[in-house]
Amino acid sequence: MLEVLGDDSEANWARVLREFLPGRYGVAKGHVMDSRGTTSDQIDLLVYDAQYTPLLAQTSSGDLFVPAEAVYAVFEVKQEMNKTFMDYAGTKIASVRRLHRTSVPIAHAGGVYPPKRPIAILGGLLTTRSGWADLQGEAAVQAVLSLSGDREVNLGCALRAVSFNRPDDPDSVIEYSESDTTLLFFLFSLFTRLQGLGTVAAADIGAYMNRLDLSDAPVETDGEQPGDRADDTSA
């Protein structure tokens, strides 16, 4: 299964996630933006809602700007899993989680669903190898557990070593893969957690429109054109 990935480049990780996840999930590199105009750090891999939420923009390099409300998970991609990159991933993840997210009611055939509370965004670190001899050892475990709140890392995959899944329950122990099932363990753990999140909250598009510069908007003239007014003397 590891050969399916080939190497640990962002493009290959993105390809594997796109092939594994249902079509409702988009996968891309990019930034996350909120309705107040704040933007996250650049994120190696974004898992976002591709079904209900419009994307904001795509750059010439192929990076996306995704509304904060659309994000399910964010991942940092590195060569090695170690404390330095674990901390770095936590900082990148926090730059997304700290963004403002809106939520509006959703109309349906029987009435209106109330605004949904924004989901808890997942975060993780994806690598080829582990810098720790034992990812289940004390140093590695403490590196994971030391990151909390917005910087918490929920999932990790070191392809040639082991993957982990950190449960939301603080009293639960970290779950680990076998050495020969690292990728499958990560993918199934991710999908299970995505299922638990349900659907993202509906974004308030009006809040994003309020951020637009309307200085160049056409002036409303009630259908009149130059020369229509009786006192127009331009002729």
Question: Catalytic positions, please?
Answer: 44, 76, 78
Strands 57-58 and 106-108: unpaired
Calpha distance 17→10 (Å, rounded)? 11
Quick one: angle between helices 138-145 and 83-97, nearest 10? 20
Strands 122-127 and 71-77: parallel
Paired strand residues for 118: none
Q: Answer yes or no: are the C-beta atoms of 176 and 136 closer than 8 Å.
A: yes
CB count within 10 Å of CB 87 equals 15
